[in-house]
């Protein structure tokens, strides 16, 4: 199988290159992201492999189909960046449904601890031998109420971590899981009663802007919000308005609505034209990181392994256990 591997970074090659050789795949690594301008580079390949900031729309599906590309290999769990319905009966879509939920959950907790205790600001101060504590006061998490939206594998891991801090955990998911050490409640109740809210749900038509003006109005003043899932879960304009009104104690964002072309790239010498992203960076109690919650050795190894297992199954007519179908899209 010949695979066009888009959005290649050095850390991708570390895992995919040796594993690809073991499977006997011919992988062509492409630094460019997959988009309308670069999709033609897949000509002559059996499959393309893309990540979260690539996209494949309906027009690109038709182009890939005409070029006899048989599969889109997602090296991610989410598939909101691919027009799944347009691909039906044309191109097979395969994903990595789970790699290391602990990696994302642990990073979510790290973001919460950072924006609460302002360790990022303390680090910058002490580098200049400024040992003042003014402006660095946080709150105890012990016995506070945490709200977890989405109780898939990552959400479940986050619940275990929050329980370790002896927090009372509320959760919301349209598909409840039995046996969790958490209390399922309505979204409204979660918003009203949570001191901390952490997002762990997929992005679809039901969850887009689940954090909006109305939701923020329900939240406690001083609530902490962490998003390590997908940027589109938060209405950025509403978030900024809430920040200006002093609604949040702190916000941790590992993802952003318009992160394509910015996250995963070195833009340190560029002028950032995204006014909302630039504005978020100005708030002292907002921490923005570059979609790195998944980024551990264990997770990267698992992503490579499952992605290539998906390709092997397709090539050898084995059951496609990780196929994405239109019935999965709301």
Considering the domain architecture, whether residues 128 and 91 belong to the same structural domain is answered as no
State residue 261's pLDDT score: 84
Considering the domain architecture, whether residues 233 and 84 belong to the same structural domain is answered as no
Q: How confident is the model at residue 234 (pLDDT cuts 50, 70, 90)?
A: very high
| Any domain includes 14 | yes
Residue of 201, 293, 294, 210 whose CA lies nearest to 254: 293
List strands edge to edge, sheet with 248-253: 183-184, 168-172, 145-149, 196-199, 223-227, 248-253, 286-288
Considering the domain architecture, whether residues 202 and 145 belong to the same structural domain is answered as yes
pTM: 0.91
Considering the domain architecture, whether residues 29 and 138 belong to the same structural domain is answered as no
Considering the domain architecture, whether residues 161 and 128 belong to the same structural domain is answered as yes
| Any domain includes 225 | yes
pLDDT digits (tens, 9 = 90+) for 301-320: 999 999 999 999 999 999 99
Which residue do the tokens 């010949």 mark?
A: 2
Considering the domain architecture, whether residues 91 and 209 belong to the same structural domain is answered as no
Q: How confident is the model at residue 71 (pLDDT cuts 50, 70, 90)?
A: very high
| Any domain includes 255 | yes
Q: How confident is the model at residue 89 (pLDDT cuts 50, 70, 90)?
A: very high
Mean pLDDT of the chain, nearest integer: 96
Q: What is the 3-state secondary structure (H, E, C) of the chain?
A: CEEEECCCCHHHHHHHHHHHHHHCCEEEECCCCCCCCCHHHHCCCCEEEECCCCCECHHHHHHHHHCCCCEEEECCCCCCCECHHHHCCCCEEECCCCCCHHHHHHHHHHHHHHHHHCHHHHHHHHHCCCCCCCCCCCCCCCCCEEEEECCCHHHHHHHHHHHHCCCEEEEECCCCCCCCCCEECCHHHHHHHCCEEEECCCCCCCCCCCECHHHHHHCCCCEEEEECCCHHHECHHHHHHHHHCCCEEEEEECCCCCCCCCCCCCCCCCCCCCHHHHHHHHCCCEEECCCCCCCCHHHHHHHHHHHHHHHHHHHCCCCCCCECCHHHCC
Residue 143's CATH number:
3.40.50.720
Considering the domain architecture, whether residues 300 and 263 belong to the same structural domain is answered as no
Considering the domain architecture, whether residues 114 and 184 belong to the same structural domain is answered as yes
Which residue do the tokens 């997929």 mark?
A: 202
Q: Which domain holds residue 24?
A: 2-99+296-325
Considering the domain architecture, whether residues 145 and 223 belong to the same structural domain is answered as yes
Considering the domain architecture, whether residues 114 and 190 belong to the same structural domain is answered as yes
| Any domain includes 330 | no
Residue 84: how many CB atoms within 10 A of its CB? 19
| Any domain includes 246 | yes
| Any domain includes 229 | yes
Q: Within 13 A of 160's CA, how many CA atoms are on the CB side?
A: 12
> Across residues 278-296, what is the average pLDDT?
95
| Any domain includes 168 | yes
Catalytic entry in 259, 267, 279, 327: 259
| Any domain includes 278 | yes
Q: Is the pLDDT of residue 248 over 80?
A: yes
Considering the domain architecture, whether residues 253 and 193 belong to the same structural domain is answered as yes
Could you confirm whether 259 is annotated as catalytic? yes
Which residue do the tokens 């003042």 mark?
A: 132
Could you confirm whether 291 is annotated as catalytic? yes
State residue 59's pLDDT score: 97
Catalytic entry in 230, 245, 315, 327: 230
Considering the domain architecture, whether residues 115 and 169 belong to the same structural domain is answered as yes
Could you confirm whether 230 is annotated as catalytic? yes
> Across residues 190-215, what is the average pLDDT?
97
Q: How confident is the model at residue 326 (pLDDT cuts 50, 70, 90)?
A: confident
Q: What's the domain count of the chain? A: 2
State residue 328's pLDDT score: 83
Catalytic entry in 291, 309, 315, 327: 291
CB-count burial class (<10 Å; 0-12, 13-18, 19+) for 273: exposed
pLDDT digits (tens, 9 = 90+) for 131-155: 999 999 999 999 999 999 999 999 9
């Amino acid at each position: 199988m010949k695979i066009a591997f888009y959005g290649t970074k050095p850390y991708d090659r570390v895992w995919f290159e040796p594993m690809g050789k073991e499977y006997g795949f011919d992988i062509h690594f492409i630094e460019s992201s997959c988009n309308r301008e670069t999709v033609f580079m897949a000509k002559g390949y059996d499959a393309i492999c893309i990540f979260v900031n690539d996209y494949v729309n309906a027009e690109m599906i038709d182009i890939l189909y005409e070029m006899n590309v048989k599969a889109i290999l997602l090296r991610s769990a989410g598939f909101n960046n691919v027009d799944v319905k347009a691909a039906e009966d044309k191109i097979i879509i395969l994903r990595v449904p789970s790699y290391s939920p602990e990696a994302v959950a642990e990073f979510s907790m790290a973001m919460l601890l950072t924006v609460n205790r302002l360790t990022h600001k303390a680090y910058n101060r002490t580098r200049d031998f400024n040992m003042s504590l003014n402006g660095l006061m946080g709150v105890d998490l012990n016995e506070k109420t945490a709200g977890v939206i989405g109780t898939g594998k990552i959400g479940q891991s986050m619940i275990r971590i929050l329980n370790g801090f002896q927090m009372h955990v509320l959760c919301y998911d349209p598909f409840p899981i039995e046996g969790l050490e958490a209390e399922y409640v309505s979204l409204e109740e979660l918003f009203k009663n949570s001191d901390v809210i952490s997002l762990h749900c997929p992005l679809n038509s039901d969850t887009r802007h689940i954090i909006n003006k109305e939701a923020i109005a329900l939240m406690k003043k001083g609530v902490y919000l962490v998003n390590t899932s997908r940027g589109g879960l938060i209405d950025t304009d509403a978030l900024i308005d809430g920040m200006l009104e002093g609604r949040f104690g702190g916000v941790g964002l590992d993802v952003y609505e318009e992160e394509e072309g910015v996250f995963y790239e070195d833009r340190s010498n560029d002028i950032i034209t995204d006014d909302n992203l630039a504005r978020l960076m100005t708030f002292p109690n907002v921490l923005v990181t570059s979609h790195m919650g998944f980024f551990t050795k264990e997770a990267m190894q698992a992503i490579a392994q499952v992605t290539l297992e998906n390709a092997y199954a397709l090539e050898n007519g084995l059951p496609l256990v990780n196929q994405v179908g239109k019935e999965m899209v709301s």
